[in-house]
Amino acid sequence: MVQITLPDGSQRDYPGPVTVAEVAASIGAGLAKAALAGKVDGKVVDTSYQIESNSALSIITAKDADGLEVIRHSTAHLLAYAVKELFPDAQVTIGPVIEHGFFYDFSYKRPFTPEDLVVIEKKMAELAAKDEPIARRVLPRDEAIAYFKSLGEHYKAEIIESIPADQDVSLYREGKFEDLCRGPHVPSTGKLKHFKLMKLAGAYWRGDHKNEMLQRIYGTAWATKDELQQHLTMLEEAEKRDHRKLGRELDLFHIDDHAPGLVFWHPKGWTLWQGVEQYMRQVYRDNGYQEVKGPQIIDKGLWEKTGHWDKYRENMFVTESEKREYALKPMNCPGHILIFKQGIKSYRDLPLRYGEFGNCHRNEPSGGLHGIMRVRGFTQDDGHIFCTEDQILQECADFTALLQKVYKDFGFTKIIYKVATRPAQRIGSDEYWDKTEHALMESLRLSGCEFEIAAGEGAFYAPKIEYSLKDALGRHWQCGTIQIDHNMPERLDSEYVGEDGARHRPVMLHRAIVGSLERFIGILIEESAGALPAWLAPVQVAVLNITDAQAEYARSVAKTLQNQGLRVDLDLRNEKITYKIREHSMQKLPYLLVVGDKEMAAGAVAVRARGGKDLGAMSLDAFVQQITSDIAHKSVI
């Protein structure tokens, strides 16, 4: 007798071992048809999985997150199946699920083309329509190696050779195609209906640049046609908003091969940068932070003491002088401790808050670089709070409130909160991790924030809260963070004199709100589609004359606005006014002021707001009041 406990708590008895599919069928024909997989005692398995003892079971359908994962995993195999049907000489390697889809890497004698993707996708649809069963079998490791070598699949054989000799491996077959995989998979190819191949890329075998360059095919797969279409629409919109494209069109910045992973800021882009930095600098001043500045190059010995040398050496740029080895700083925290250690600190000095717009460098792989979102040189709005144990909870709660205000000012109101807990490789005792993780969770509860647990994703020295923005397209961007750190003050021997006259270790809170300014500006550009609010726009208003007769009046209007502290572009070119309006509109300026004879005679301006909104004629004073109100309230036009 096998007893199955279902999610609603009800129980069903079966005379002997029973498969997930059989349980689903016993519940109802509709569920049996919808079943993609099962979750037995928390483990996702195929519908063919046989349950031999009393277990808890959930039937997984396309409505479940686990179901979508199984669909995408199975669609990756369907892609490989189609490629082998069309290109028999191609070798298959690996094909994992990724966010929103999957990819599969292939070795083939010629590059695949976009035209090939169309043919492959069509073949996938044909194979799916056959509704071929997907069946699992298990082989001893060495037998599996020999099997794949006989098929000419040497990459698969190499993967299996890395598995211990005493282990069995599982294979999944659909039609004429069989692949190495742990599973689970959908019961048959007919369950795979809503997919699309997206793009081609290169990828080194096993991620090692010394190995062969493989061809990677990316795809996406969804449970319904509507979900697939929504995703494709979102991607189209994301392409329009791509910060790299808008950076060129709006003349903000560029990336050059002479300095890969580093940003050349143009005048307009640097104006935007300064807008973000000066705003954050005011945030520092208003919230008790003292701004500091540390050196770019620090002796290797400091990074060894902090543990960064062992953990991050391969991502650090190093240099040598007079037989001493140095590193460009990848983060600012050790420098802030050295500043804290200068002079005797008392408990009365705490909490002591340091802030720095610190320039950091990390030797990111070239394949991971992405516009200004992922670079090798970046600036953080970095800050560290030195405090006592008793001050941790309030400081963390106050930081969350500050971060919420900053994000709101930049137009973000949807924030996702996660507490990243201890990783497998870490320093510090379990007692330390228990205490610090609890403090972070309590601070979020104190702030009234619902949060998720990101198990094992903390830094090697401390747990952290991760604050992620949700943008207009529903994408998540992790920007802010706060970490409780006892280890670094211990390693670098920092102290303060307590109320009892004894020496104590301070607690160090690592915190950032926008994180990398480069990345945050990229997010802002994509969120606004380049139509930045007036307070951030590099050019806030353009003044356009209709004919030369109004040139002098246009100059005086522009001068008046500049004297008000506004960023103004004066366009006196001998061009048609419709041409000038269109050209400046494409630059997504908040306001255009048109002056003709009528406006000049009345001492007024004709105002056009972004998006082609005609606000009519108004006095210059009235316009100044409007735009300064927009800037003061950080309004989005």
Pick the catalytic residue from 382, 398, 471, 485. 382
Residue 219, Cβ density class (10 Å: 0-12 exposed, 13-18 middle, ≥19 buried): buried
Separation of alpha carbons 89 and 108, rounded Å: 7
Find how far residue 63's CA is from the centre of its chain.
25
Residue 551, Cβ density class (10 Å: 0-12 exposed, 13-18 middle, ≥19 buried): middle
Partners of 320 in the beta sheet? 325
Active site residue 361: no
Alpha helices, DSSP H only, in 28-96? Answer: 29-34, 65-86
Contact, 353 vs 323, CB < 8 A? no
Active site residue 491: no
- How far apart, in Å, are the Cα atoms of 500 and each of 31, 396, 504? 68, 25, 10
Pick the catalytic residue from 39, 73, 77, 380. 380
Separation of alpha carbons 465 and 512, rounded Å: 11
Separation of alpha carbons 485 and 335, rounded Å: 15
Active site residue 504: no
Active site residue 449: no
Active site residue 434: no
Partners of 507 in the beta sheet? 387
Q: Residues with Cβ < 8 Å from 636, sequence gap 6 or more?
A: 411, 528, 533
Please write down the HEC assignment for all residues of 318-371: EEEECCEEEEECCCCHHHHHHHHCCCCCEHHHCCEEEEEEEEEECCCCHHHCEC
Pick the catalytic residue from 268, 308, 464, 491. 464
Going by C-alpha positions, the residue among 200, 184, 191, 221 that lies closest to residue 100 is 221
Going by C-alpha positions, the residue among 58, 92, 341 that lies closest to residue 215 is 92
Contact, 469 vs 477, CB < 8 A? yes
3-state secondary structure of 275: helix
Pick the catalytic residue from 39, 72, 231, 333. 333
Separation of alpha carbons 136 and 67, rounded Å: 18
Contact, 292 vs 355, CB < 8 A? yes
Separation of alpha carbons 312 and 347, rounded Å: 33
Active site residue 39: no
Active site residue 251: no
Please identify every residue annotated as catalytic: 333, 362, 380, 382, 384, 464, 510
